[in-house]
């Protein structure tokens, strides 16, 4: 069951590049940074993920490693995740839906450990994006 919304971030894609891929399916690596809040706490997230274009034109992606969430007080947690998406316009415009899992979160973020969170990651043509998180109960 989908629980309450616990995070909302606004940010921008900062780096994007094409990776070597198998066969004819393009593979991209994207890094984004966003500011907002999680659990009502001001924080910043940085994420690097790869995505591959599937034969039907949809996307599948995963984080490239643990991605940090850092509060203004310096508490940190990292998450890994995956999701399905699609292109929605020109340039960097994509829409992804998936799940992330926090590990080793400390301080005010410690309650995220062991929880599955579902997300929406929507990016406009100009590379600006919105990252929203809900607890999956």
Domain residue spans of the chain: 2-136
Structure confidence at residue 1 as a pLDDT band (50, 70, 90): confident
User: What token pair was written down for 109?
Assistant: 């973020």
Contact indicator for 2, 137 with CB cutoff of 8 Å: yes
Query: Please, which residues have CB within 8 angstroms of residue 110's CB and are 6 or more apart in sequence?
Result: 77
Question: What is residue 82's predicted lDDT score, i.e. its pLDDT?
Answer: 98
What kind of architecture, by CATH, is found in domain 2-136?
Beta Barrel (2.40)
pTM as predicted: 0.94
Average pLDDT for 23-49: 96
Amino acid 128: pLDDT: 97
pLDDT attached to residue 21: 83
79: pLDDT strictly greater than 80: yes
Give the strand pairing for 27-38 and 2-19.
antiparallel
Residue 2 has pLDDT above 90, yes or no: no
In this predicted structure, what is the pLDDT of residue 41? 98
Closest among 64, 57, 49 to 86, alpha carbons compared: 57
Question: 5 pLDDT band (50/70/90 cuts)?
Answer: very high
Q: Is 5 exposed, middle or buried (0-12, 13-18, 19+ CB in 10 A)?
A: exposed
Q: What residue spans of the chain are helical by DSSP H?
A: none
Residue 22 banded pLDDT, cuts 50, 70, 90: confident
């Amino acid at each position: 069951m989908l629980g309450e919304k616990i995070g909302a971030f606004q940010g921008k894609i900062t780096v994007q590049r094409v990776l070597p891929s198998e066969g004819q399916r393009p593979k991209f690596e994207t890094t984004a940074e966003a500011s907002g809040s999680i659990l009502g706490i001001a924080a910043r997230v940085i994420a690097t993920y790869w995505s591959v274009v599937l034969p039907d034109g949809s996307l599948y992606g995963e984080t490239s490693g643990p991605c940090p969430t850092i509060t203004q007080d310096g508490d940190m947690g990292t998450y890994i995740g995956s999701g399905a998406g699609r292109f929605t316009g020109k340039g960097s415009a994509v829409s992804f839906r998936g799940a992330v899992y926090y590990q080793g979160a400390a301080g005010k973020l410690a309650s995220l450990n062991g929880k599955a969170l579902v997300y929406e990651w929507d990016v406009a043509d100009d590379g600006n994006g919105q990252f929203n998180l809900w607890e999956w109960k």
